[in-house]
Amino acid sequence: MAEMNDDDLLDALGVEVTPIKVSSRTPREERIIAGFEDILRFYQAHGRAPLHGEGRDIFERLYAVRLDQLRKLPEAQLLLAELDAHGLLSGTAAVHADVDDLDEDALLAELGIGAKPADQDDITVLRNVRSSIEKRAAEEIADHTPCADFEKFQPLFEQVERELKAGIRITLRFGRDTSIASGNYFIVGGQLAYVAEIGETIKAAYGRNDARLRVIYANGTESNLLRRSLERALYKDETGRRLTDPDMGPLFGDTPEPDDIETGTIYVLRSLSSHPFIKAHRELIHKIGVTGGKVETRIANAEKDATYLLADVEVVASYKLHNLNRTRLENIFHRLFGAAQLDLTIEDRFGNPVKPREWFLVPLNVIDEAVGRIRDGSITEVVYDPKTAQLVG
């Protein structure tokens, strides 16, 4: 018997061989078709095209976005023509404002049509594109309207900007454990934002609690986004920050409270240097510093230290600190008296030029007034005028 190959053997057995069809479509086209088939199944189940709206099912909202964007994709019209018996692609539903700005790969990602796992070098795999959830959060943040009563909030923004400059408030990275409350300030999308109101608690997707916020922005606009939308935007924004609350209790006092922690001392020094300029203005030139230890230890050997103008010094005032950030306090003094900083260069004991900091042309009574204003929180309402040597509002 002659040897038979596979085809001859199958023919002898009466088995018809159907040639394997090789798809002529690219992976990209397959994904577009698969995405449109989801929309067709929705149409067949509900008798209408998917619609936008917060009250609608999340999948319907996804399909509505996908359909809007397929209408903007030129190749989709030809590719899906035979499947679109209901004329879904010929509709005129609104599209997202940023669709025109997306390239084709980013647009595919927005359609929610993800590529199947593939080799990392496969050019059909979409990477580094934002998810639909991230896009939706960004859209909610960007949906601002003019604030009709902004004159009520403008003084608040001016106040908080002064507090930032004075170091009374600082900015911190927004973390997952950070909460959002009424009266909070944030920096989101490069804008200073104030949470003016928080609405009633509502049940959001997956049964989690949420609330609608009234957020006012420093540019005179406002938005009514959801709290979780603001949280997501702040957490994902590399520059997103929260502003600390300045109400941290007394900065310092003569009698520490039981729960206070003594952290240091503000000290005011006067130089005993024989330098002609210092000698002529001795009653006006003062060094303001903050230390966590003993002042006496800090100024020991002052005559050998260029920081102290290579001369002995005398302590003319001191104030105890309790439960206070010393670095922030130093920043307050430097910002307040920066215009009156002593501009003097001396040589250290090795002959190197040194320009000491923390020395200011400020009378002692003005320093004492500044300490009082830091204590009662009114320091942000004044600036130092070197011409009159006074704090002015």
How many other C-beta atoms can be found within 10 angstroms of the C-beta atom of residue 138? 18
177 pLDDT band (50/70/90 cuts)?
low
Q: Which token pair is 213?
A: 């916020």
For residue 7, what pLDDT is reported? 63
- The whole-number average pLDDT for the span 363-374 is 90
Residue 286 β-bridge partners: 360
pLDDT at 25: 75
Strand partners, 217: 193
Q: Which of 66-80, 136-150, 153-167, 284-298 has the highest mean pLDDT?
A: 284-298
In the structure, what pLDDT confidence band is assigned to residue 334 with cuts at 50, 70 and 90?
A: confident
SS3 of residue 95 by DSSP: coil
Angle made by CA atoms 235, 238, 240, in degrees to the nearest 5? 60
pLDDT in tens, 79-106: 888 888 888 888 643 333 344 444 445 4
User: What is the DSSP pairing of strand 145-146 with strand 221-223?
Assistant: antiparallel
Q: Are 270 and 314 in contact (CB under 8 A)?
A: yes
CA 260, CA 237: separation in Å to the nearest integer?
A: 36
CB atoms within 10 A of CB 219: 15
What is the tens place of the pLDDT at every residue in 242-272? 888 765 444 444 455 444 446 678 899 999 9
Percent of the chain with pLDDT over 90: 12
Q: Which residue has the higher pLDDT, 56 or 228?
A: 228
Q: Which helix (H) or strand (E) holds 46?
A: helix 27-46
The pLDDT of residue 122 is above 70: no
What pLDDT score does 124 carry? 39
What is the residue type of 362? V
For the ranges 96-110, 289-303, 355-369, the lowest mean pLDDT is seen at 96-110
Q: Which amino acid is at 277?
A: F
Diameter of the chain by CA atoms? 126
pTM, full prediction = 0.41
Do 335 and 383 form a contact (C-beta atoms < 8 A)? no
Calpha distance 189→376 (Å, rounded): 33
Look at residue 136 and tell me whether its pLDDT is greater than 60: no
Per-residue pLDDT at 317: 92
Cα–Cα dist 198/182, whole Å: 6
Domain assignments of the chain as residue spans, ordered by start: 23-129, 138-243, 262-392
Say whether pLDDT at 190 is over 70.
yes
Residue 116 CA to residue 233 CA, distance in Å, equals 28
Does residue 130 have a pLDDT over 80?
no
| 59: Cα within 13 Å, side-chain hemisphere | 7
* CA–CA separation, 189 and 314 (whole Å): 50
Phi, psi angle pair for 29, to nearest 5°: -70, -35
